[in-house]
Each structure stands twice: as structure tokens, then as C-alpha cells.
Structure 1
Amino acid sequence: MLPKPEIASDMMAKDVPLVRRNSRKASAPKLILVLGMHRSGTSVTIRGVHALGADLGDNLMKPVADDNEKGFWEDLDFNRINERVLAKANSSWHYLYPLDTALFQRSEFAAERIEAAALLSQKLKKASVFAVKDPRTAVLLPFWQCVMDDLGIEPSYLITLRNPLETAESLRKRDGFDRHKGLVLWLKHVYEAIRGTEKAKRLFVSYQNLMADPRGELERIAEAFGLNMPSDESAAFKDYASDFLDASLHHNRISANELRRDEAIPAPIPELYDLVSVWCGFDPEETATLPEDLCKDVNAYFDGRGDFLEYSDRVETTLASVRKQVKDAELKVKDLDTQLTESRAQSARKTEELETLLKQQDEQLQEGQVRLAELEARASHLEGELRKAELASEGLVSQLAAARSDRQMSEQRVAASQEELAKVNAGIAKLSGERDAMRAEMSDAKAHIDRLKGNLAAHTAELAHSVAKIERLTESAAGYEAVIRELRKDLRLQRASLLEMRNSSSWRLTRPLRGVKALAARSVGVVRKAGGSKNDV
């Protein structure tokens, strides 16, 4: 067991009446309430109670960086009710003016009492030992004691103590509170926690002692409330003493002697701190009550400054509202800055994409223009070829006309020969008597006829070939004329499309590639078709 802090012997004898109890391990309570001022070690204390086997509920407040990194270990359901009750009483956890304790038994708080009773009953059903902490409970004890009386519950209390100067400094860093306000808040919370639990089972725990000797303090708590103390090798104790507790949790170390050196500190604060420091060293079976003189001093301090404290709370409310508005405005400005940055980034990306697209479109337009020039050159070449074909066709037509003239002449010759043959046959008939004389002449005539027949056959074959050639040329000429008409039509369309594309900025950005691709496809088809027709010729 830790040694008790050294204090003046006359203070121990006069101000701390002791009551001895039988030395025995107490039976485990059903409900343990951890009380104390904010930033005074309530989180560290209830985490230790949890290591002793107490259940803390399944809806705990999450840790907050740069505030309570190891966790608050605070039930959000109880916190929500406490906030509602304070708000309904036109108060807050950081108000200096004491609450009217009779207020919470009035009918206007019936709904909150019923909800709190249902919540507490539900939590207790799930655990053999349930522990809860919220520093607001210290100033709301009359409300919760009314609820617990209705449920027939006798809770046990763990009251935490920390140097009020350390608490005030922690509040200054976290909330921006003036040191004097932090000290008065400490006095209000600690005093009301003590006065509200005078007839109940309670134990005082020093934050400094718990950090310095966690095993010794946990043994005090376990012995006082009948809980099981885990061994040093158990996971529960190691998690708490080694992993959870570390020196970084004890910020703002200030000597308690500074309380007595600073005359600006309200007089009841050092006296109350010294007294409770002694109680934090008591054995579990020992208890103490507040001296009457100290109670009068504390009450006189709050009563004598009631108007000022109430005004201070109103000013603080206004300041809190202004701070919230400023914070909201800062968050809004930050959000707008973020949106502006994102918009600028998106605009830059979009501009870059459009520039890339424009560059691609320009390249495609240039390629289309080159391809169009190639197609125009190809069309010009095809026009020249067509002209040549037309000239060749005209030559073939002339040849066909000449062949037809030759054929007519040959036919006339054949007719003349036939007439002459008829005359010869007639002369033979008539001149049968002259047959011998005419044989020589007849033989010559036959030879001449044979030659004429050969010439006739040759002319006939040549005529047939010329006719076939003229038919093919006629078909080829018709194909070329169709190709030329299609090319001229496409050329007119492409020139019109090009003119429209050059005059329209949106078309220039989106359509040139498809137009050129279609033109190229049609031109290739036309060229292939023309090439096929030429090969047929």
C-alpha cells in the first residue's frame, strides 16, 4: 500500500474526522460511477476499473488526436443524456454558476428521468458490474441519484483528483480557457462530487498516484469494491499498466506547492486539494467528511460571486457561439479553397485535354488536306485517262465505220462476182459448144473467185473481231463515264464539305477525321472499280 502524503498534523486532527470499519473485502457493487473534473484522470481511472473486470458498455466515445489519444472510455449514451439535461437547465459543462439541485426533481425533467432509468436498466442487465464515467455527472448527481433511487440502485463512487493547476493548464491548451476559470471549474466539480456522495460508498484516487503506482492503486480499488485484482502476468494488467499507461499521459506537470504560493488562487482550492490528497491515501475502510468551515468557505465563494459567475457564463456562451461561427466560417473557407483548388485543377486538366484534342484535330485536318490533295490529283489523272479513253473510243468508232464500209464494198464485190458467175454460167450454157475454148478462161475465173472468197473470209473475221472490240470499248467507255460522273459528284460534295468544315469551328474539332476517312474509303472503292474496268478492257 502506498504511503500517505505528508500533511500538517493539526489539519489531520482537526479537519479530517476518521471512521474505522471492519477490515474485510467488500462485496462487488452493481454500479460504479467515476466522478471528477474534466482533464483530471477520469479516463485513466475508469480504464483501470475495466482492467479489474467491470463492463463499460458497447457505445464508447472514440479517441481524439491531440486530446485523448488513448480514448475517453466514456459511454456515449450517458453523455448524450447529460448534454440534454444541461442544455434544458440552460447550462453547460464549463459554466461556473452552480446548478439548482432541486431543479431535477421537477416534472419538466420527467422525460429525461424516464429515459435515463431505461438506459441504466438496460446497461445493468448486460453486466454483473457496470462502470460509467462522464465528468458532467459530478454536477448532475442530483439528477442521476433521483433516477437511481427510483430503480433501487445503491452505486459506489470513484472520485479522481488532480492538481487543479495542471487541470487548468490542460483546459487552457485544449479549450482556450483562462486559468482562473479552469480553477473555479475544478472547485465546482470536485466540491459537488464530494458533497453529493457523502453518505454513499466511495473511494478517492489520485491521478498522480495512479500514474506512479498503478498496481497499488488498482489494489485499493479492488479491495474497496470487491473486485478481482489480476496478476502482474495477466493480459488485463499488462494491457493497462504497460500498454495503456505511459508518461505521455501526464501532461502539464506542476508542483502542488504553487497552489499555496499564488495569492490569486481562490482560498478554498488549495485547502480542498490538500484535504482530498489525504483521502487519496486512505485505506479502503477509512472515510472522511468535509469540515464545516471549508464548506462555508466554498459556498460563500460561489454565493458571493453568483452574479459575476452567471454573467461570465453568459459571456462565455456568446463567445462560444462566436467561436463556433468563426470555426464554421474557417471550415467553409477551407472547403471553398479546396473546391477552388479542385476546380482549378479540373480546369487545367480540361484545358490540357482540349489542347491535346485540338492538336490531334489539327494533325488530322492536315492529314485530310494532304489526302484530299492526293485525291484531287488522282481525280485529275483519271480525267486525263478518261480523255485518252474517249479519244481511243473515237478512233475505234472511226475504225468500225471504216470496217463497215469495207464490208459493204466486199459485199458489193461478192454480189458483182455472183452476177458475173451467173453470166459465165449462162455463157457456159449458151456456149457449151465453146467449152474447150473457154476452159482456160474459166480456170482463171475460178482462181479469181477463190481469191475473192479468201478475201471475203478474212474480211468477215476481221469484221467480227472489230465488232467485238467496238462492243468492249463501248462498255468500257460507259464504265469510265459512270466513274467520272461519280468522281465529279464526290469531288463536288467533298469540296462543299471541306468549305463547311473550314467555316465551322465545332465541325473542325469533331468531324474532319470521319469525313476524310469516309472520302478515302469511297475513293479507294472508286479507284478499285476503275482499275477493274480498265483491266477488263
Structure 2
Amino acid sequence: MYLISGMHRSGTSLVARLLFEAGGNLGDPATFYRADRWNPDGYYEQPEVQQINMRLIHGCWGKLTYFKLPSTQTMINRGVRIRGELKRVADRYRNKIVKETRFCLTLPVWLAHETTVDGILICLRDPVAVATSLQRRNWITRAHAYRLWLEHNQRLIQHAEAIPVWFVNYHHLLHEKTFEREMHHVCQFFKLQTPGNLLKHLQQKVVKRSLDNSTECKARYPSNLQTFWKQLLEKHTRQFCGSET
């Protein structure tokens, strides 16, 4: 599997749609998770993958688990009980692109059951923008939203250490001057061709400036958040060194 992941509200659905429109195989479109008010253009993710990840994370606690995320070992223990289902779904999506934010937490479980992960695209979005979006959707405090952003991203970076990774900056996808370069490298990572005016077509068809709420982000970062966000941006910048533009 090739994964699209990153913290919730970080642009994974936008990236998944762009890759789908560029010819990426994200599985059967008829079974995509349905659009809703939070993602009116669709999620471009498969419910059976999402449901497994939710079971691994939630256990018997449901959404309350997001007040204290389960340890990796707890989720690995839960995975043992559904190992047959994990293998079946992993086999179904072999060589396909799978978008799911919860892989930030559950990736080690899939790897423990010999899932082949060929690469991970990690979506980066300003933590203040993410927190603002989470506050609107989930009615949580900004401080808690920051903690979730930090833990999801830290775990994903740690878990993906031995896997090919590419970082995509959500904000760069929303602006005309940076979209084509950003998306060109994303397509390259997934071995998708970008002939002719495909990138310009994708930008005009898919990207909406209304998706950008960065101008609303006036809050200051906590120091630990600011440090880690700076590190992620540096990782994003460094990956372009020596690559074709």
C-alpha cells in the first residue's frame, strides 16, 4: 500500500482527490466514504480501512479515547484479535493508494502483521489552522487540539522511520505560484505521470481558495509546537534539494 496520512484536518482529502483525478488507484470509487458538511467534495477513503483503524484506536472507549490516546502496544494487542481482517484488507489494497489519517497512530499495527507499505505521503498543515478547524468540528479546546496535532505527527514520523516518505505542504497546494511544483513531486512519489496541462487542470478543477483559513490563524504557538512545526517545514524544504523541479 501507498499511504496518504497526517493529522486530521490537514488536507489529506484534498490530496487524495488530486491523486484520484490524476489517475491514482484509490480502490473502488463506489465505496468511498460519503461526503458531508465537513468535506463536501468527499473524503476519497475506504470505510473498511477506516473502520479497522477506529477499532484499533477506540477499543471499548469510543471517541473518549481521544482525551488520552492509546499506546502503540495497546493497539498492537487489539490488532492480534483481528489479524485475519487486517491481512485481508491489506491484501485488497496492495499496490493501491490508501488515504487515512488514523495511520498516524495505527501504522505499527499494520506493519506488525506484515503489511507492505511502499511509501507514505505526510500532509502538513499549520497547527493553528488545524486547531481552528478541530475546534469548529469537534468542540474541543485549542490546547487539546494542539496536543492531538503534536502527538499524531510525532508518532507518524517515528513509525515511518524505515519507510520512504514525502511531505506535502497543504498551504502550497492552495496557491497558484506553488501548486504545480508541490503537486508534481507528489505525483512523482506515487509514480503518476503529469503530461501536458494536467497539473493546471487539476488546480482549476479541484483547488478552492475557500479551503485556506490561514488568514484566520492569529493564535501564537506553544513553544514545543513551534519547534516541531519548524522541524517539519525543514524536512519538507530539504527533500527538494537535488530533485528535479
Give the TM-score, by structure 2 length.
Answer: 0.87
Question: Which residue number in structure 2 is paired with residue 86 of structure 1?
Answer: 57
Q: Residue 238 of structure 2 aligns with which residue?
A: 282
| Distance in structure 1 (CA, Å) of the matches to 2:200 and 2:92 | 28
Give the structure with the higher percent helix. 1
Aligned sequence identity (%): 24
Q: Which position in structure 2 is the counterpart of 1:270?
A: 226
Indicate which of 177, 183, 189 corresponds to 2:140: 177
Encode CA deviations 1:325-369: one digit per residue, 9 max, x unaligned. xxxxxxxxxxxxxxxxxxxxxxxxxxxxxxxxxxxxxxxxxxxxx
2:15 maps to 1:61: no
- Give the superposition deviation at 1:96: 4.2
1:142 lines up with 2:111 in the alignment: no
| Counterpart residue number, 1:49 | 19
Cα shift at 1:162: 0.8
Unaligned runs of 5+ in 1: 1-30, 287-537
In structure 2, distance between residues paired with 1:217 and 1:93 = 36
Counterpart Cα distance in 2 of 1:122 and 1:201? 21
Please list, as runs of the form range in 1=range in 2, the aligned pairs for 1:179-328 lying within 5 A after superposition: 179-212=142-175, 213-232=178-197, 234=198, 238=201, 240-251=202-213, 253-254=215-216, 258-260=219-221, 265=222, 267-283=223-239
Is the 1:161–1:207 Cα contact (8 Å) retained in structure 2? yes
Shift of residue 284, structure 1, vs aligned partner: 5.1
Q: Which amino acid in structure 2 is aligned with residue 145 of structure 1?
A: L
Find the aligned partners of 2:240 and 2:22 in 1 and give their Cα distance.
16
Cα distance change of structure 1 residues 87 and 280 upon mapping to structure 2, 3 Å threshold: same
Q: Aligned-pair RMSD on alpha carbons?
A: 2.5
TM-aligned CA distance change 1:85 to 1:226, over 3 Å: same
CA displacement, residues 261-298 of structure 1 (integer Å, 9 cap, x when unaligned): xxxx2x21100111111222233577xxxxxxxxxxxx
Q: Structure with the greater relative contact order (CA < 8 A, sep ≥ 6): 1 or 2? A: 2
Write the letter of the residue equivalent to 2:85.
E
- The AA in structure 2 aligned to 1:168 is A
C-alpha distance in 2 between matches for 1:119 and 1:285 = 36
Matched residue type, 1:245: V
Spell out, residue by residue over 1:142-200, the C-alpha distance to the aligned partner (whole angstroms, 9 max, x if none).
112223x2x4x242001111111111111111121111111111001111111111121
Q: 1:246 to 1:41 in 2, by over 3 A?
A: same
Q: Is the 8 A contact 1:36 1:160 kept in 2?
A: yes
| Cα distance between partner residues in 1 of 2:40 and 2:226 | 30
CA contact (8 A) 1:34 1:42 kept: yes
3-state SS in 2 of match to 1:281:
helix
Higher mean C-alpha deviation, range 244-253 or range 92-101 = 92-101
Q: 1:73 aligns with which of 10, 35, 44?
A: 44
Q: Quote the Cα distance in structure 1 between the aligned partners of 2:140 and 2:217.
A: 20
Q: TM-score, normalised by structure 1?
A: 0.42
**Residue 35 of structure 1 aligns to which amino acid in structure 2?**
S
Post-superposition offset of 1:61: 1.0
CA deviation after TM superposition for structure 1 residue 37, in Å: 0.8
- Give CA-to-partner distance per residue, 1:291-337, whole Å, 9 cap, x none: xxxxxxxxxxxxxxxxxxxxxxxxxxxxxxxxxxxxxxxxxxxxxxx
Q: Which runs of 5+ in 2 are unaligned?
A: none
After superposition, where does 1:359-508 map in structure 2 within 5 Å?
A: none
- What residue identity is the alignment partner of 2:235? W
AA matched with 1:56: L
The residue matched to 2:171 in structure 1 has which SS?
helix
Structure 2 counterpart of 1:75, which letter?
Answer: Q
Distance 2:55 2:62 in 1: 10
- The residue that corresponds to 1:35 in the other structure is 5
* Structure whose CA Rg is larger: 1
CA separation of 1:47 and 1:237: change in aligned 2, threshold 3 A? farther
Give, in whole Å, the separation in 1 of the partners of 2:60 and 2:156.
19
Query: Would you say how many aligned residue pairs link Structure 1 and Structure 2?
Result: 239
**1:114 aligned to which of 81, 84, 97:** 84
The one of 97, 103, 114 equivalent to 2:68 is 97
Contact kept? 2:50, 2:100, Cα under 8 Å: yes
CA distance in 2, matches of 1:237, 1:46: 17
